[in-house]
Amino acid sequence: MPTLLYLHGFNSSPQSKKALQTQVWFSQHAPEIRFICPLLSPFATVAMASLQAMIEQSAEDPIYLVGSSMGGFFATCLIEQHNMRGVLINPAVSPGRGLQHWLGENVNSNTGEPWIFEPEHIAEYLALDPEGLQRQNNYRVLLQRGDEVLDYRAAQKRYAGCSIVLEDGGDHSFVHYEQHLAAIHQFLISN
């Protein structure tokens, strides 16, 4: 059975609005695809180790990726390593360069779980960052110019040569995301 692995953003959870919208849409319109949205650690090596383990367990069946913000960064790492297809929503580009304001004590915005971010955790993100993209045909990137958290132009540059949907307005949450779910499904299952 194919699997859709939804990767939420930094300091978010499987209870994020887009994760829940994706889960509902796929359960109604593509029930043949199993939906999984793991709780991702804010620590890059821990998050990637858990994702790699999930992929190894499903070695026979296709795995599709949808990644939002930091989840888009993790999806990029996996697409490049495993030749998977993925849709990225306002993805984080080279996030190790912008995480300094997270240093210290934090609380997950959805779960309430406390966590401490230290300089070595930023180094983990820097070490994972792919140098370039070798699999442009495996990506669809959804960007909104109104993203107040990440500069859409960095993603536009990083994913040049990939399928990019660029919308005026919007914000980091990607306004009207639910209207893109049918096209996301079509892209993921197409070859």
User: What is the per-residue pLDDT across 151-171, written as a single tens digit (0 to 9) for each?
Assistant: 999 999 999 999 999 999 999
Residue given tokens 């859409």 in the structure block: 152
Distance CA 72, CA 91 (A): 4
Model pLDDT, residue 59: 67
Q: What is the DSSP letter of 14?
A: T
Which candidate, 4, 105, 120, places its Cα nearest to that of 14? 4
- Identify any residues that bridge with 165 across adjacent strands, giving them in sequence order: 142
pTM: 0.95
Low-confidence ranges of the chain (pLDDT < 50): none
**CA distances for 176 relative to 50, 65, 70, 113, angstroms:** 30, 19, 19, 29
Each residue's pLDDT tens digit, 175-191: 999 999 999 999 999 97
CATH number of 3-189: 3.40.50.1820
